[in-house]
């Protein structure tokens, strides 16, 4: 048994040699696939890549981050020399804060869905009240869930939060460290950027619903495992059925591929509407895939920012919502 495990460890350098010596070939593509999806080989590959990483230009990274914040807060792309002159309107459009839950009680997670403001499309009070009760019940189930080891390793479950009859539902991959601490989705750096994107659309955070494929944080923010997705997905499916949004915005490749049951990369999925199947005999829901805010933070470029904004403008147009004046370009 130990001999077999050792041979796996030696497999990564062997595959690396194929990748480096036969770039572009079919052999190299297969080798890259093994390196990416086999956990042991991927760990070895990542370690070797980290050793060869160049030094990071901190000043450049900070400047790029500030430019990206200005883009989504001010609805326009700004160059290096352009000064931000409209910080007051941007601040006024910031989303309304949602109360954070107290630690470790199912009833606390339920409070995140109570007393919502009126959405863009009106629903009866009875309909909204019923949706609130159903979402609270789902949150309680999530809080008690121990179907996989994540339920025992988490600090808090993160069922999701927002309007019970939201027209737009944002779905990401999994909670991170900040989300695990607070029990709320998208509250870290990526969440702050998502708030700016939502505000750039002329909406507030409490007018949409925000959730994840997984309801618990994977250790060290690793990628979700298939068995974890299988265990968690029914909770999200119930939430989608209850909220019945007009459009789902899948944030990142993992969320998009899971919801669409495809292996296509996010670069091929974004920018166009897909159909999310809600079940036999039920109408499908339009789905727009776009880059995850965390991806924007890691891979800053004006082009990536524009891609996300173009995707969101298509969502607004599909819903018949106005595109903010400064975001038309």
The structural architecture, per CATH, of the domain 61-327 is 3-Layer(aba) Sandwich (3.40)
The pLDDT of residue 319 is 97
The pLDDT of residue 57 is 55
pLDDT under 50 in the chain at which residues? 1-15, 18-19, 27, 34-54, 56, 58, 74-111, 114-120
Its sign, for the CA torsion 174, 179, 183, 186, is negative
Measured in degrees and rounded to the nearest 5, phi and psi for residue 271 equal 85, 0
How far, in Å, CA of 175 to CA of 91, rounded?
A: 26
The pLDDT of residue 156 is 97
How far, in Å, CA of 329 to CA of 327, rounded?
A: 6
Q: Under 8 Å CB-to-CB from 129, ≥6 apart: which residues?
A: none
The pLDDT of residue 168 is 98
- Interhelix angle for 125-144 vs 226-243, to 10°? 160
Domain with CATH 3.40.470.10 in the chain: 61-327
Q: How far is CA 285 from CA 279, 294, 314, in A?
A: 11, 25, 15
The pLDDT of residue 98 is 35
Q: How far is CA 152 from CA 104, 129, 216, 316, in A?
A: 12, 32, 9, 40
- Token pair recorded at residue 67: 């430019």
DSSP type of residue 116: P
The pLDDT of residue 61 is 54
Q: How far is CA 103 from CA 86, 144, 157, 176, in A?
A: 38, 14, 10, 16
Helix (H, G, I), strand (E, B), or coil: what is residue 250? Answer: strand
């Amino acid at each position: 048994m130990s001999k077999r495990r050792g041979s796996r460890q030696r497999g990564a350098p062997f595959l690396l040699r194929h990748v480096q010596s036969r770039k572009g070939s079919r052999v190299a593509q297969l080798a890259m696939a093994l390196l990416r999806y086999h956990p042991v080989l991927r760990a070895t590959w990542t370690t070797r890549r980290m050793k060869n990483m160049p030094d990071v230009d901190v000043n450049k990274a900070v400047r790029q981050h500030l430019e990206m914040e200005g883009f989504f807060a001010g609805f326009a792309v700004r160059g290096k020399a352009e000064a931000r002159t409209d910080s007051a309107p941007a601040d006024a459009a910031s989303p309304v804060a949602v109360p954070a839950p107290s630690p470790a009680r199912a009833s606390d997670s339920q409070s995140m869905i109570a007393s919502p403001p009126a959405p863009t499309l009106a629903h009866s009070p009875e309909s909204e009240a019923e949706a609130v009760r159903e979402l609270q019940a789902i949150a309680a189930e999530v809080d008690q869930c121990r179907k996989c080891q994540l339920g025992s390793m988490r600090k808090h479950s993160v069922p999701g939060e927002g309007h019970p009859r939201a027209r737009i539902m944002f779905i990401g991959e999994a909670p991170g460290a900040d989300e695990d601490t607070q029990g709320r989705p998208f509250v870290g750096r990526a969440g702050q950027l998502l708030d700016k994107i939502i505000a750039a659309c002329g909406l507030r955070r409490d007018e949409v619903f925000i959730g994840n494929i997984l309801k618990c944080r994977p250790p060290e923010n690793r990628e979700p495992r298939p068995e974890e997705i299988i265990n968690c997905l029914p909770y999200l499916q119930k939430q989608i059925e209850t909220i019945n949004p007009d459009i789902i915005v899948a944030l990142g490749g993992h969320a998009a591929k899971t919801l669409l049951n495809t292996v296509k990369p996010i670069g091929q999925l974004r920018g166009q509407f897909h159909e999310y199947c809600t079940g036999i005999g039920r109408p499908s829901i339009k789905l727009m895939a776009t880059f995850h805010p965390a991806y924007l933070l890691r891979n800053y470029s004006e082009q990536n920012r524009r891609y996300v904004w173009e995707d969101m403008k298509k969502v607004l147009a599909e819903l018949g919502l106005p595109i903010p004046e400064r975001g038309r370009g």
